[in-house]
Amino acid sequence: MGHIFTVRMILLLITTVSCGLLIPEIESVSERRPGLRYLPELIFAVYAAAYVYLTLLSRSEIDVPYATGVELRPLSALRRAMLRGSVLPIRGIILNILLFIPMGYLLPLIFRKLRKHTVTDVVLICLLISLATETLQLVFQVGWFDADDIINNTVGALIGAAIWRVRSR
């Protein structure tokens, strides 16, 4: 993996962790101060733009050394990590989980109709977004269509939606 890709992933990690620390206060601050009413929407817009940039627009042949392909075997990255003793696949797993925690949290925060639905509904929407992203990466040849990415993104969405559900009670 290229150096630029690693820097982007580190920035993603820092951003995700920072959002995780700040998100619990977003809704209460936006409700108490009318001038900050649209703060959750702004945060979601920045997150969505960063998501599209990181997953689709910033990719190059350096970042994706094998260009494009399909990997449909679930947990193949975990198997590779165990067989090779490499932490690189584990890093990818963690980053894919972290990438979707904000989405799982922010979707019901932004779209009030989702608040009436279950965590499962939010996770299903995130799964469809992940599936669409993987499909676009394949179609535009900027990455692999990887079942592991969809699984890991969905785990991240589940964590984010569960955090939102617990905080909203």
Cα distance between residue 154 and residue 54, in whole Å: 17
8 Å CB contact between 109 and 164:
yes
Structure tokens at 115: 């608040």
- Which of the four pLDDT bands, split at 50, 70 and 90, describes residue 1? very low
**pLDDT tens sequence across 119-162:** 999 999 999 999 999 999 988 888 889 999 999 999 999 999 99
pLDDT at residue 124 in the model = 97
Cα distance between residue 146 and residue 138, in whole Å: 9
Q: Nearest Cα to 143, choosing from 3, 10, 5? A: 5
Q: Which ranges constitute the DSSP H helices of the chain?
A: 3-32, 39-52, 76-84, 88-110, 119-139, 147-168
**pLDDT tens sequence across 90-99:** 778 888 998 8
